[in-house]
Amino acid sequence: MSLPSRLIEVAKGIDALIGRPLARATQAPRRTLPNDPEDVLIIRLWGLGNLALLAPQFAANRQRRLRLMTLQRNVSFVRRYLPEVQLLAVPEPLSPRLPRAVVQIARQLSRDRPQVIVDCEQFLRLPLTLARWASGAPCVGLDTPGQCRGPLLDEPVTYEPLRHSGETFAALWARAGLATHDGPGGLQSTPELHQAQRRSWGLDHRPLVIMHPGSGDHFPGRRWPAEHFGELMTLLAKPGTHQLVITGTADERRLCAQAVKAARGTGSSAITDLSGQLDIQALIDLLSGAALLVSNDTGPLHLADALDTPTVGLFGPNTPHRYGPRRPGSVALHSDLPCSPCLDDRYMKHSSCRHYACMTSLAVEDVAGPCRAILGASAPQPAADAHAHSS
């Protein structure tokens, strides 16, 4: 497990240890929510993909004052793609800057109180406890079974394990009296990468097929095997029609290299490996101009869905009912083993599984089929033969 993954698990453990008794001690009569609030605090710390799922709701409420409590790692994304949002940035878990930042946020919320808090976390308690204590504002949030969140909520929304996370977020905003948007969207990018930038990466004018074999900081069991990605690239390689690109974080360079090596070992055409080379702006620009993204259940999958990019999503520990792409024509593949899903909000997204059978059991050819269908549907149709004779 990587250091960021360990920090996440430690932070969840601390929240469980401290957050539960604090939530029980917070039990108080429920307060009435304002009608049509103009000043709203939204809480969502982790998950760039979750912020992409929230983007349609932010866009539907641009006329309001929207403040977002989120981790520092998300600041550049929010500033560029959600410019209507004011930030309350939280340092990374266990950072030495965290205590001072928490005090500053508490003081800010006590001086400048929101009318309502919309908590978009599924199991964490401490962020909402802080915001509620500092501001006194009424709270809307998920009453996730087993997580002792109910005492913190003035308007609880029932947790439904098979409801898509995007729809869950919309339900929270609707309960708070805010406007909602049904379906994906909410992100916009530049029309295309600058040609000089494309050339610097070895990309030409051909449509891009992007492979993303990583899964971010959280739970490597969400990863389809790198060798499978390599075999898939070999099956999809068609010289002259599209260009294969592989993406990942700097920590995932070795994983991406394994996929590229597996593809080259089976005779694939050239693959451009951009792992560790893209900031969030470049990644979004790359995704927005792609003909297809094949990805595990992680941030780029949700970014692509919000950008209306065709996607084949690979699921195992999480269910596609909650996180699958919603764009028409995109596909979510799930082996649906009896033990899946094991990453559940009711258990704080923690899994002790180390077999990953739900991902390894997804066959390469079963993934290649939907990919070919999407690429075939998006390919330009040949012009009619001008010399054909009618009968």
pTM of the model: 0.89
Alpha-carbon span 331 to 112, nearest angstrom: 44
Contact 55, 185 (CB under 8 A): yes
Nearest 5°: phi and psi at 279? -80, 180
Contact 222, 317 (CB under 8 A): yes
Identify the bridge partners of residue 271 per DSSP, sorted by sequence position: 244
- Tell me the average pLDDT of the chain: 89
pLDDT digits (tens, 9 = 90+) for 134-177: 999 999 999 999 999 999 999 999 999 889 999 999 999 999 99
Q: Is the pLDDT of residue 257 over 70?
A: yes
71 backbone φψ class: left, alpha, beta (φ>0; ψ -120 to 50): beta
Contact 50, 44 (CB under 8 A): yes
Under the banding of pLDDT at 50, 70 and 90, the label for residue 387 is: very low
Alpha-carbon span 116 to 35, nearest angstrom: 10
Instruction: Summarize the confidence of residues 288-294 as an average pLDDT.
Output: 93
Nearest 5°: phi and psi at 284? -65, -40
Of 38-42, 228-232, 381-385, minimum mean pLDDT range: 381-385
- Determine the pLDDT at residue 380: 53
pLDDT digits (tens, 9 = 90+) for 25-52: 887 789 999 999 999 999 999 889 999 9
Delineate the domains of the chain, giving CATH numbers in brackets.
19-175 (3.40.50.2000), 203-373 (3.40.50.2000)
Strands, E, within the chain: which ranges?
Answer: 39-43, 65-71, 85-90, 116-119, 139-143, 155-158, 208-212, 243-246, 271-273, 290-296, 311-315, 331-334
Instruction: Summarize the confidence of residues 97-123 as an average pLDDT.
Output: 97
Instruction: Summarize the confidence of residues 295-307 as an average pLDDT.
Output: 94
Q: Is the pLDDT of residue 268 over 90?
A: no
Instruction: Summarize the confidence of residues 321-344 as an average pLDDT.
Output: 88
Alpha-carbon span 78 to 67, nearest angstrom: 11
Under the banding of pLDDT at 50, 70 and 90, the label for residue 267 is: low
